[in-house]
Structure 1
Amino acid sequence: MCQNIPSFFPSGAIRKKNIKVFVIFLFLFVLAFVLTTFNLTQNSNQSLSRTNSIGIPNKFLYLKNFISAKYTSQVRKDEKWRQVRILCFVITYPKNLAKQTVFVRNTWGDRCDKTLYISDEANSTFPTIKVTNYTGHKQLWAKTRNTLELIYRQYISLYDWFLKADDDTYVLVDNLKKFLYSKNTTKLEFYGKFFSPFVKSGYPSGGAGYVMGRAALKQLVTVGFEVGPNCPPHSEPKAEDILMGRCMEDSGVRLSKETVDEGGRELFHSFSPQREFIIPWEKIGFYRQFSIHPLGGDYCCSKDAISYHYVHGPEMLFLDYLFHNMTKVLL
């Protein structure tokens, strides 16, 4: 591990403030054993017909029932942050509905005030929405741009904030609402995991998700999409998140660097919790080079974390249990 990342095992002992995090991630490692023992790995070509009405696949139902049917927040009058209205849109693909996207819908997806699932094909049963004829992962920009235009036309007056996520992004919606409660929807800025290269003012890691308010969305669509030289109108093979950073820059919308908690720990993450905790620099050294805030160890996994990326299938159910049930015992 890089020398400039403080160890969380100083003087041969676990520091008190890391005990809770250590216990949580001990359970995450147990997940690997659970997935192997119960053969939860699915074939990438699994048919939607093997699912429960395009719901949790039948062989996973016992796990969902075990960790809780659906998490519902208890509304309290003194928690004004619950008044924040968020529309989330999730970029997905037909082959991912049964093995990945269904787990989004049955965990954090239902906690947004509205969630749109954007796919290559319209599917009234799931449901998913088709916004472009371009297909495949390399065409993310066309999907994202067209979705934002659709949201601007139909939903901008109904919601305060608009979140983009992938189908393997896990979002703690309550934490997101708490974070956004103190922000101003009329300010020309947006939030996500800040990456520094390629775009002068920075760009957001697409997998970690990014969120913008009404003013930023309006500026993006009416200025950036209309006249921005870095906002191509159709398909574009370049990375969607880099294009979003450039397009926002053309629009006059700033990517905020204020996305850490009081301890300097980041809130948006480009990797899963276990990888963020113990970062294999030899494999993902670019992450340190691209990031502007400290990573790993003591700088990982804020209790106020908002998002994690590369969270696959049933792992979302497990994280849901840890974040919304097990942590209540530990805190």
Structure 2
Amino acid sequence: MSEQRGNLKQIEQKKSLRLYRRLAFVTIEIALIAAFLSYRHNITSLEQLSWLPEEKVNVETPENATQNNTDLAELLYKEVRILCWVMTTPKNHRTRAIHIKRTWGKHCNRLLFVTSEDDEELGETVVINEVEDKYEVLWPKMRIAFERIYEKYANETDWFFKADDDAYAYIENMRYFLYAYSPEMPIYFGYNLLYGGRKDEVYMSGGSGFVSSREAVRLFVESAIVNKSGCDINNHYIPDDVAIGECFRAVGVIAGDSRDVHGEARFYLFAPFMVLMPELINEPFWYFNYSFYNPRSCKDCLAKYPMAFHYISPADMYLFEFFGYEFWTIDLPNEPEEVLPKKLSWDDVVVLETDNIWNTS
């Protein structure tokens, strides 16, 4: 009798064990199905989100994220009008110029391309075919471009920024710097160079570009190239940036100092890595002898608000555009609120003497 009771107890225990196992399997199956359905729901939601118009995508922004001061940029867009014009050629329309239009050119108040053939995809162009379209004959091309652009747009812009088609410019930083200056001042800014190393012949490098006031361009167009005194318009083979520097000097246009308060340049002859990596720039590199201000190359030598770089590939233009306008960072140290610089009178404008210790001319 006791043996039968023991067998019945074992049978009931086995039944209970099978029941628990079955319940466990059912629970696991339900969990797996729920996880799969949740995964599919999330994937479907992401797919639907990717097709929504950009303005309907609501993404929460961390409170400690930082981006460009857009309010200040919008104010300066109206206060400091910059017309950008880029020197290019038909063979570079698709490989260089179009990428400027899609990146930094969007931030100008007006963007023009100076070339020898019209191109609808580039947008507004200034077509110059009076002179041979080649690198060795850039000076007459620049001179004619300045004449035509000034005649058409002088009344709707304050500053004229000229750049090559392998430059990248931060136009917002340029506006911030130029805010202190009146476009009625005869002045222009860029990377100051010494022609032949001579301290009395200062001009701005044309590669990364230079920005000229409306008054500077007026004096160039209405006086320098008309009177021709100290402004050689007949020598087509003189470097264009040297030639316009000569013409500007002839009519009293000042080569301004665009460095920041730490003495760092804001226009650069090269890409950023050339400034940040000292081992890439060694003496007797011409950069040292011909720079007006003492050239520097070190990890901390890049200005906080740079304005232009040279020798920039199209791929790097998109990279700069992303990190400059779309990239956000978290937990940056709190920066003081930006304050616009004080407006300067002409008497307040100071251009320091050369401090280039490498130049012995």
Q: TM-score, normalization: structure 2?
A: 0.67
1:175 aligned residue = 173
Indicate whether 1:153 and 2:148 are aligned. no
Which deviates more, 82-91 or 119-128? 119-128
Q: Given the superposition, is the C-alpha separation of residues 223 and 312 from structure 1 closer, same or farther in structure 2, using an over 3 Å criterion?
A: same
1:255 aligned residue = 255
SS of 2:105's equivalent in the other structure is helix
Shift of 1:162: 0.5
Counterpart amino acid of residue 317 in structure 2: M
SS of 2:237's equivalent in the other structure is coil
The question of whether the paired residues in 2 share the 8 Å contact of 1:139 and 1:235 is answered with no
Shift of 1:183: 0.9
Q: Given the superposition, is the C-alpha separation of residues 247 and 324 from structure 1 closer, same or farther in structure 2, using an over 3 Å criterion?
A: same
SS of 1:115's equivalent in the other structure is strand
Deviations, residues 113-154 of structure 1 (Å, cap 9, x unaligned) = 001101122223423331242211112111211111012211
Q: Given the superposition, is the C-alpha separation of residues 152 and 286 from structure 1 closer, same or farther in structure 2, using an over 3 Å criterion?
A: same
1:272 aligned residue = 271
Shift of 1:290: 1.3
Shift of 1:76: 2.3
Q: Given the superposition, is the C-alpha separation of residues 118 and 273 from structure 1 closer, same or farther in structure 2, using an over 3 Å criterion?
A: same
Aligned residues, how many?
259
1:47-126, aligned counterparts within 5 Å? 76=71, 80-82=75-77, 83-126=79-122
Shift of 1:272: 0.5
Counterpart amino acid of residue 161 in structure 1: W
Q: Calculate the aligned-residue CA RMSD, in Å.
A: 2.3
> What is the rounded CA distance, in whole Å, between the counterparts of 2:166 and 2:328 in structure 1?
22
Q: Given the superposition, is the C-alpha separation of residues 234 and 101 from structure 1 closer, same or farther in structure 2, using an over 3 Å criterion?
A: farther
> What is the rounded CA distance, in whole Å, between the counterparts of 2:211 and 2:165 in structure 1?
16
SS of 2:244's equivalent in the other structure is helix
SS of 1:97's equivalent in the other structure is helix
Counterpart amino acid of residue 323 in structure 2: L
Deviations, residues 165-187 of structure 1 (Å, cap 9, x unaligned) = 00001000100000111111111
Which deviates more, 202-211 or 130-139? 130-139
Indicate whether 1:239 and 2:226 are aligned. no
The question of whether the paired residues in 2 share the 8 Å contact of 1:230 and 1:243 is answered with no
Identity of aligned residues (%): 27
The question of whether the paired residues in 1 share the 8 Å contact of 2:287 and 2:295 is answered with no
Deviations, residues 248-306 of structure 1 (Å, cap 9, x unaligned) = 111211101x2111211110001001112224234871111111133211553212100
The question of whether the paired residues in 1 share the 8 Å contact of 2:128 and 2:141 is answered with yes
> What is the rounded CA distance, in whole Å, between the counterparts of 1:306 and 1:179 in structure 2?
9
Q: Displaced runs of 4+ in structure 1, greater than 6 A? A: none
> What is the rounded CA distance, in whole Å, between the counterparts of 2:117 and 2:98 in structure 1?
16
> What is the rounded CA distance, in whole Å, between the counterparts of 1:118 and 1:330 in structure 2?
43
Counterpart amino acid of residue 85 in structure 2: F
1:144 aligned residue = 142
Deviations, residues 91-118 of structure 1 (Å, cap 9, x unaligned) = 0111111111111110010110001101
1:210 aligned residue = 210
> What is the rounded CA distance, in whole Å, between the counterparts of 1:237 and 1:139 in structure 2?
6
Q: Given the superposition, is the C-alpha separation of residues 177 and 330 from structure 1 closer, same or farther in structure 2, using an over 3 Å criterion?
A: farther
Q: Given the superposition, is the C-alpha separation of residues 284 and 121 from structure 1 closer, same or farther in structure 2, using an over 3 Å criterion?
A: farther
The question of whether the paired residues in 1 share the 8 Å contact of 2:195 and 2:290 is answered with yes
Counterpart amino acid of residue 324 in structure 2: F
> What is the rounded CA distance, in whole Å, between the counterparts of 1:316 and 1:240 in structure 2?
25
> What is the rounded CA distance, in whole Å, between the counterparts of 1:133 and 1:233 in structure 2?
14
> What is the rounded CA distance, in whole Å, between the counterparts of 2:147 and 2:171 in structure 1?
23
The gaps in structure 2 that reach 5 residues or longer are: 1-66, 333-361
Shift of 1:214: 1.2
> What is the rounded CA distance, in whole Å, between the counterparts of 2:141 and 2:331 in structure 1?
41
1:130 aligned residue = 127
> What is the rounded CA distance, in whole Å, between the counterparts of 2:300 and 2:193 in structure 1?
17
Deviations, residues 224-267 of structure 1 (Å, cap 9, x unaligned) = 111134434456111111111111111211101x2111211110
